Amino acid sequence: MARVVCLGNVVRDLVFKVPSIPAVPEKLTCTDMRTQFGGIAATAAAAIVALGGDAEFWGRVGDDEVGAEAAAALRHCGVRPVLQIKSGTRSPQSAVIVDAGGERMLAAFPGVLERTPDWLPVDSLAGSGAVLADIRWTEGARALFVAARARGIPSVLDADSGDSGAIHELVDLSDHVIFSERGLAEYRNGVEREKALLQVGSARDGVVGVTLGAAGSLFCFRGRLHRFDGLPVRVVDTNGAGDVFHGAYALALARAHDWLCAVRYAGAAASLKCMRPHDWVHLPRHTEVLEFMQAFNADKGVLDSGSKEGFAGEAV
């Protein structure tokens, strides 16, 4: 079973469902409310397990009730948590507002956590097929990527918005950099998308991409741009779709597939996620992703004949 180590934050989400997200501040009456756990790398780890992989989550939680609940939630979905808990720390939490069309607005509290990564068990990386990190804990991501590169393990950076300084520090340490649309805009300060991606790609080795929601994704490899169309779905909730994309992509690399196969697999997994509520128990399974890819290939002819090579019949 392919093993992926994911590093970042795990977050308790308070999710509020509303008919629409207002353009100006106002008091809203919610149609539903639930509590769940998320976080970029944590959701990626949960997605990897759902897709038949073996995932560890390395991170920090607060010395509080939320931290204990987060560890239990990770174990419940099959992820092995490797966590630091220090006295006096506080766990990350967020408020997520989701409208009837599945779009979201997020307010996040990053927690109060120790930043030193000296405790990370990097010597245990042997046998891993890939590593993945988000930008919420720069020191930890740096330590993970340096250790992975020394061992020849491919690394994936989830370059989301909110800290372009962290991306600047980590981009050259990772083999596969995948931006969110806003993350790329912040990193290149408003440079047109295709030009920005070519700039980043030409300045480093490896693969660079950006996810574009319903429009699919755009990748740059060896100075050439590659477009991947979005797959048509009825959206229920887009929250976490990017996290699933990154997790599925890293898992495909860990299964020894090339980056082209990884993008197609990740795009299908993220599309399926958008058709479901955002919680870890509803994440797509490997067989569901294969069936979805096959149906889309038959109906639309977009995925080429080699796009699923190595996926069919893969052990989960």
Residue the block writes with tokens 């501040």: 25
Describe the strand order of the beta sheet including 11-17 as a list of residue ranges. 32-38, 11-17, 93-98, 104-109
* In-domain check, residue 41: yes
Rounded Cα distance between 7 and 89, Å, is: 18
Residue with tokens 């290149």: 188
Tens of pLDDT, residue by residue, the chain (316 residues): 899 999 999 999 999 999 999 999 999 999 999 999 999 999 999 999 999 999 999 999 999 999 999 999 999 999 999 999 999 999 999 998 989 887 888 899 999 999 999 999 999 999 999 999 999 999 999 999 999 999 999 999 999 999 999 999 999 999 999 999 999 999 999 899 999 999 999 988 899 999 999 999 999 999 999 999 998 889 888 889 999 999 999 999 999 999 999 999 999 999 999 999 878 999 999 999 999 998 877 433 333 323 333 333 332 2
Residue 85 lies in a domain: yes
Asked if residue 27 is part of any domain, the answer here is: no
The neighbouring-strand residues paired with 159 are 179
Q: Which pTM value belongs to this model? A: 0.90
- Domain membership of residue 36 (yes or no) is yes
Q: CATH code at 38?
A: 3.40.1190.20
Q: Is residue 305 part of a domain?
A: no
Contact predicate 38/9, CB 8 Å: no
List the domain range (segments joined by +) for residue 220. Answer: 3-20+32-300
Amino acid code (one letter) for 267: G
Residue 316 lies in a domain: no
Residue that the structure tokens 């991606």 belong to = 197
d(Cα 134, Cα 242) in Å, to the nearest integer? 11
Judge whether 62 lies within some domain. yes
Count: domains in the chain: 1
- Does residue 54 form part of some domain? yes
